[in-house]
Amino acid sequence: MAIFQGAGVAVVTPFHANGEVNYEQFAKNIDWQIENGSDAIIVCGTTGEASTLSHEEHLEVIRYCVEHTNGRVPVIAGTGSNSTETAVYLSVEAEKAGADGLLLVTPYYNKATQKGLYEHFARTAKAVKIPVILYNVPSRTGCNIQPETIVKLVKEVDNIVGVKEACGDISQIAKLAYLADGCVDIYSGNDDQITPILALGGIGVISVLSNIAPKQTHDIVETYLSGNVKESTRLQLAAFPLVKALFSEVNPIPVKKAMNLMGLGAGPLRLPLTEMEEPAAKKLEEEMKAYGLL
């Protein structure tokens, strides 16, 4: 059975002005997400600025998220690393904290071979019992996990069950769907490709957009899976200009700006990420107003 079906939010980690994690605001944002239809919380991923959290902070944010969510929706913890040893450590600790599943990004910077990727993911997944979703985002990691490798991992490692596909290449994702023949849970990793990936047999999205539009993102998936493809497509296209604005600078710079504009208290970014440039920020605000968020 899939860890979740629908729209999971790749949740932002809110910070105080001094850079410390703002747990009070984090709790409010989790509640707001669940109240507005998010089907899962994905914590400590790219959008959660996990790469700038210390290991202690990383695990505390996961523990807090699990405790506060309290079983209302699944919590999937980002525990990937470019070091297999570190990925194993974070994954084991996240399992102890009560995470329902793990999201493992392809190792960044190392640029592993497909054999290396297989060994990395297999070793990490075998260190835990909870289900694992692979995360393929070559634009950020410099490493692309091929469809054949994904299918091999899902078939040979019991608790690897799916993939968040953010390669952006619909042909590659179509090949994955063909080779998998239903054995891989495919989630869109790009908010502008939700319906195309659902059309290829995907079961949901792990979304940045959900941070500011949880109900709308949930509805894109729900209407498609309930058979109303035309309405799902309309909702997808209606969100297109806003999604483009949300990625006009590197994620999560724009979405944190958007959340702050909405009073959702995302707070500042941690270096090396910096505040959004004014022209892009102005365009983002315009698209948020057009979409009905402001």
- pLDDT tens-place string over residues 245-265: 999 999 999 999 999 999 999
Distance CA 168, CA 219 (A): 22
Q: Over the chain, what is the mean pLDDT?
A: 97
- Whether the per-residue pLDDT at 187 is higher than 80: the answer is yes
Q: Would 204 be classed as within a structural domain?
A: yes
Q: Would 240 be classed as within a structural domain?
A: no
| Catalytic site positions | 135, 164
8 Å CB contact between 135 and 166: yes
Q: Would 260 be classed as within a structural domain?
A: no
Sequence-distant (≥ 6) Cβ neighbours of residue 9 within 8 angstroms: 33, 38, 40, 41, 42, 206, 207, 210, 211, 214, 217
Range of the domain at 212: 6-228
Q: Would 252 be classed as within a structural domain?
A: no
Q: What is the mean pLDDT of residues 193-212?
A: 98
Q: Would 68 be classed as within a structural domain?
A: yes
Q: Which of 153, 208, 144, 138 is nearest to 185 (CA)?
A: 153
Q: Would 203 be classed as within a structural domain?
A: yes
Q: Would 145 be classed as within a structural domain?
A: yes
Torsion of CA 24, 25, 29, 31, to 10 degrees: 30
User: In which band, very low, low, confident or very high, does the pLDDT at 164 lie, cut at 50, 70 and 90?
Assistant: very high
Distance CA 290, CA 223 (A): 22
Is the pTM for the entire model greater than 0.85? Answer: yes
User: In which band, very low, low, confident or very high, does the pLDDT at 152 lie, cut at 50, 70 and 90?
Assistant: very high
CATH number at residue 184: 3.20.20.70
Specify the number of domains making up the chain.
1
- Whether the per-residue pLDDT at 226 is higher than 90: the answer is yes
Q: Would 242 be classed as within a structural domain?
A: no
